[in-house]
Amino acid sequence: MSKKRAILFVCTANQCRSPMAEAMMKDYITRMDLPTNWVVQSAGTWAESGHPATPSGVKAMAQRGLDTSSHQSQTITKDLLNQFDLILTMESGHKEAIQIEFPEFSKKVFMLSEMSGAAINIEDPIGGTFEDYLNTANEIDEWIRNGFPGILEILEETEHEQSAD
């Protein structure tokens, strides 16, 4: 039996970028036909629980054949972070906020772009045009695809550390 692999995507309000990343990662894993039992969720550093994804974000995902219409935002808590092997943020500020508030999770928090060897913030499209949401979705998709080998590498390292305990 393959091990569970758990990834949490994080943005600010958990209504735009991280729900997009969650939906795209789940789709990517399905399309790759990966045998591992994956858990992919999203949360926000300043989220209020129970809010839907933004209408433009839902529409941008629908254009990709992905449904985020039932998404409900959730805020980051210690209990939530404890459930994940890897925490991927949209911006450096999200990474820093988690590392300061929850230092015990520092070693498993990275910016999504860091999985590709970069350190680039994915700008928040909130308040922007629908085109801004499409551009953000394209950017997230590119970081997921390019960063997937790095994501797998970190998850495998985490598995080895857990099995050594």
- Catalytic amino acids? 11, 17, 124
- How distant, in Å, are the alpha carbons of 57, 93, 114, 140 from that of 99? 27, 10, 15, 22
- Rounded (10°) CA dihedral 143, 155, 90, 27: 60
Which amino acid type is present at position 52?
Answer: P
Which amino acid type is present at position 165?
Answer: D
Kind of pairing, strands 37-44 and 4-11?
A: parallel
Return the ∠ at Cα 7 (arms to 82 and 121), rounded to 5°. 110
**Are residues 7 and 26 in contact, defined by beta-carbon separation less than 8 angstroms?**
no
